[in-house]
Amino acid sequence: MQNPNAGPEFNQALAQLSAARNYKSSNLGSMLNFQVSDQQIIDDYNNSKLSQLNSVIERGNAQIAGITERLNSANQLLSGLPSGDARRTSSEVFIKQLNDDLKSVTSAVTGAQDMQKNFTPIGLESPEGLKEITSFRTFAQLPEERAAQQLYQIDPESYRTAVGLG
C-alpha cells in the first residue's frame, strides 16, 4: 500500500528496501534451500518489511528533531536582526527552506507510520507470498542447480544423460 501523499521518490525508496531485493542481509541469506522452510521465507519477508518501515520512522523522527532545532535557532536569530538588515532576507529564505524540509520529512514519517499501521503480512498462499518463495528459492540455488536447470531447458536429453551418469 503506497501513500499517495508521500510522493513517488519516497514510495520507490521503500520498495527498494523490501526483503525481496535484500536476501544477502537476511538471516536466511547464508542458508541453503533445504534448510529454509516456506514459512521462514514469508516470516523473514514480513519482518523485514516492518523493520524497514521502523527504520524510516526512526530516521525521520531524528531528522525532524534536527530540523526543528535548526528552525528554532534560525527564528531566534531572525528575531534579533533589525528590520532593515539585509541578512533578514537570507534568513527568511533559510527558514522557509527549513519549514519545507520539515513538512516533507513529517509527511514521509506519517506515510511510513500509516503503512506500518495498515501493514498486512503476506501469507503462504497469497500471490505475493508465492512470488517471494520462488524468488528466494532462485536466489538460494547452488551454481550446480542453476547449471542443471539450464541444461534441462536447452537439451532435456543431455540433462537425463548427465543425471544418469551421476
Q: What confidence tens digit (pLDDT) does each residue in 58-99 have?
A: 999 999 999 999 999 999 999 999 988 889 999 999 999 999
pLDDT at position 14: 52
Give the span between the Cα atoms of 98 and 71, in whole angstroms.
6
| Predicted pLDDT of residue 6 | 54
Over the chain (166 residues), what is each successive 10-residue block's mean pLDDT? 50 50 72 86 92 94 97 94 90 96 96 95 93 88 84 90 84
The answer to whether the Cα torsion of 32, 48, 25, 111 is positive or negative is positive
pLDDT at 2: 45
Cβ neighbours, 10 Å, residue 120: 9
